[in-house]
Amino acid sequence: MNNTLARLIGDKKDWKRMEARAAALPADYRTVYAEMKSYMWRFTAGDGMDIVEILREVLDLFETEAAAGRSVVEVTGADLAAFCDARLPDHDIYRDTLRATLDKVAAKLS
């Protein structure tokens, strides 16, 4: 029981650190990161740690590329849904509908 509680508390602290890092990103990166989170959470398996790891990797990439002066669209490409899908482990029946919604957000940033 204590191990589970310790893991949950540690996961929560880690998540808060990730959220603080995301809040420090430039506005266009923050917008895309928030939309990606919303999109990707729909495909989580189990406790969600699979998506957290993917988001951590994306956050690392976004921090590096933002610091280099690249726009978020240069990093993700025009098809934001494809960028997300390439990182997700499985295909889901809802993905096409969600892709369309995500693409509308990305189109506004282009």
Token digits of residue 85? 């899908």
Extract the tokens encoding 31. Answer: 């917008």
Q: Which range is least confidently modeled, 28-37, 69-78, 93-102? A: 93-102
Asked if 106 and 79 touch (Cβ cutoff 8 Å), the reply is yes
6-47 tens-digit pLDDT: 554 467 888 899 999 999 999 999 999 999 999 888 877 666
pLDDT for position 35: 94
When pLDDT is averaged across residues 62-68 and rounded to a whole number, the result is 97
pTM of the shown model: 0.74
Residues 18 and 59: beta-carbon distance below 8 Å: yes
Measured in degrees and rounded to the nearest 5, phi and psi for residue 100 equal: -60, -40
How is residue 55 written in tokens?
């988001």
All structural domains of the chain: 2-109 (1.10.1900.10)
Q: How far apart are CA 38 and CA 81, in angstroms?
A: 12
